[in-house]
Structure 1
Amino acid sequence: MFYHPIISQEMRSLMRYWRPWRQLIANHDVESSMRFGKEKFQASMDLQHFKPEDITVQVSDNVVTVEGKHEEQQDKYGCVSRHFVRKFVLPEGHDLNKLESTLSPDGILSITAPRIVQEEQGRTIPITRTEKPHAEDEASKK
């Protein structure tokens, strides 16, 4: 442990427990993003450590569940196994029946759902022609 006159004894004792790499490890997660556009909803996530057969995408009600799991694999540091579950709620107004998922060659999984096109609730009002000019019609009402 180093000593510096400006750093108090309490601070020196706390610095023994400071591990800067822990924050980096804690922030390491399967990165994902969601976008809501005028035409569709899209969720993307980086799954480059998983093979297509290790990934499942399921939908139940408005909840989309993405799960990735592979058993122990040997890498240059030893053995590693990965498992994650990501759930998100699909916003209202999107078609669950047209939900699609694609996996790019670089390992990005994209899930898209188009918006449901709602027809405007309105009706056409027919126009009737009258024989009297507007000015005469107003004069007769008075």
Structure 2
Amino acid sequence: MSGPTEEVPAMSLLGVPVRRPALQTAYWMPHELYDETDDRDHPVLVVSVDEVTRMAQVVTRTSNVGAGGPRAVSHPPEPQLQLDKPGWWRVFKRHHVPWVHFADEDVDVLGKIDAKTWERVLQALTGTEGPL
């Protein structure tokens, strides 16, 4: 794995390297790693990182019209991130993911989302959003 995920020096869990996920960064992650009850894999966006617990909070992205929910943050296509369709970040439901999951061979770093969308995600998470 390469990109904006950094290996934590001298940190491993049962011999598996632990990598610190990066804020504002989208990843392709199997749903089993963030929500076993989900029926499909989604891109996830790292919205917070806890240095003490080595956990990240992520939200998922959907491109299904109407599936985002009332507080979802719209996100234009970003083909350079392999997000070819318009979508919505579902900020109303956050998932806690151990850092070790970001080192899984099935997780891909997609890259940082655009600054405007990131700002709207942060506003929605803090309850200070205007029109989404």
Q: TM-score, normalised by structure 1?
A: 0.24
Which structure has more relative contact order (CA 8 Å, sep 6+)? It is 2
